[in-house]
Amino acid sequence: MSTPIAFSTNGNAAAFTVATGRGFQYGDGVFRTVLKFDGRIIDFDAQLLRLRDDAARLGIRIEEAGLAQLRDEVILVTAATETGAIKLVLTRRDGGRGYRSASGEADRHILLYAAPKYPSEYWSDGIVAAMSTIVIAQQPALAGVKHLNRLEQVLAYQAAPADAEEVILCDVGGHVICGGRSNLFCVIGGVLTTPDLSQAGVHGHMRDKVLRLASELGIRTRVAPIPRRHFAAADEVFVTNSLIGIWPLKRVDSRSWRTPGEVTSRLAQALAHPVLA
């Protein structure tokens, strides 16, 4: 699994400019992970728009034509693969050495991997997670953006106990923010609550999809700071991302939940996301 099935930069397999570029040197770019399942790229266009909007937050422009080009490249690169995890990356094109010599143009990268596989119980019974010892930093200039500076997540997984499939990160104020590779939801007094991401965290596509779905199902939703004790007192908790859909949390450190919770089940059923087992 350490090498992707396929890789492309601006439509070519050449990687030299990437290796020495701003993506590698500064993490100066953004990404989105998209699932291709049974020949269909799930929420492809919505994810492309998120990628573009994230890039814009960093001052990296990709025009309609560039986005269409990326779309075509993805279809080409993934044509022979029915099911896979596609990582779309936009980096700022190089203007030279140093932070300053930056252009506002985007280089397009596609990495195609075999889809991950997990026990099917992860979807039905949930997973074990652990509260991270890494406190996520507050940086409003980058909050919400799925950018390439992901060392906090790397450190969080490194410090996590072996039995934890996911880590939960809190900010310095003791609010839960997100999972290491997921967004976080709590059902608190019947209200589906997910952390405010204005200071830290990543605005995942699946997060919005679940919030929208909840509204359609008549479930009340709320986006707000969630103190750790409210999280621990929640009736149901689950994590989401574009590969897994929804995974209930059955245990976080010493706190256990009976899974699957009622609200979680309704959402998972309505979402009908593929089980990658």
| Local structure of 27: helix, strand or coil | coil
Nearest to a copy of itself of 37, 221 (CB atom): 37
Burial 177-212 (b: 16+ CB within 10 A, else e): bbbbbbbbbbbbeeebbbbbbebbbbbbbbbbbbbe
Gap between the Cα atoms of 152 and 155, Å rounded: 5
Does 25 help bind a copy of itself (rule: CB under 8 A)?
Answer: yes
Residue 5 is encoded by which pair of tokens? 């099935």
Does 198 help bind a copy of itself (rule: CB under 8 A)?
Answer: no
Closest CB 104 distance from a copy of itself, rounded Å = 9
| Local structure of 97: helix, strand or coil | coil
Does 61 help bind a copy of itself (rule: CB under 8 A)?
Answer: no
Does 116 help bind a copy of itself (rule: CB under 8 A)?
Answer: yes
Does 12 help bind a copy of itself (rule: CB under 8 A)?
Answer: no
Binding test (CB under 8 A) with a copy of itself, winner from 27, 225, 227, 274 = 27
Q: Are 63 and 69 in contact (CB under 8 A)?
A: no
* Number of neighbouring beta carbons within 10 Å of residue 156: 24
Task: Tell me phi and psi for residue 85, to 5 degrees.
Answer: -100, 125
Binding test (CB under 8 A) with a copy of itself, winner from 34, 48, 58, 246 = 58
Does 135 help bind a copy of itself (rule: CB under 8 A)?
Answer: yes
Does 247 help bind a copy of itself (rule: CB under 8 A)?
Answer: no
Closest CB 46 distance from a copy of itself, rounded Å = 22
Does 180 help bind a copy of itself (rule: CB under 8 A)?
Answer: yes
Q: Are 187 and 231 in contact (CB under 8 A)?
A: no
Q: Where are the beta strands (DSSP E) in 62-114?
A: 84-94, 102-114
Q: Give 183's contacts (C-beta < 8 A, 6+ positions apart).
A: 194, 195, 201, 202, 204, 206, 207, 239, 240, 241
Closest CB 181 distance from a copy of itself, rounded Å = 6
Nearest to a copy of itself of 45, 53 (CB atom): 53
Nearest to a copy of itself of 18, 234 (CB atom): 18
Does 35 help bind a copy of itself (rule: CB under 8 A)?
Answer: no
Binding test (CB under 8 A) with a copy of itself, winner from 87, 228, 230, 266 = 87
Interacting residues with a copy of itself (CB under 8 A): 1-4, 7, 9, 15-20, 22-28, 31, 58-59, 85, 87, 89, 92, 94-102, 111, 113, 116, 134-135, 137-142, 147-158, 172, 180-181
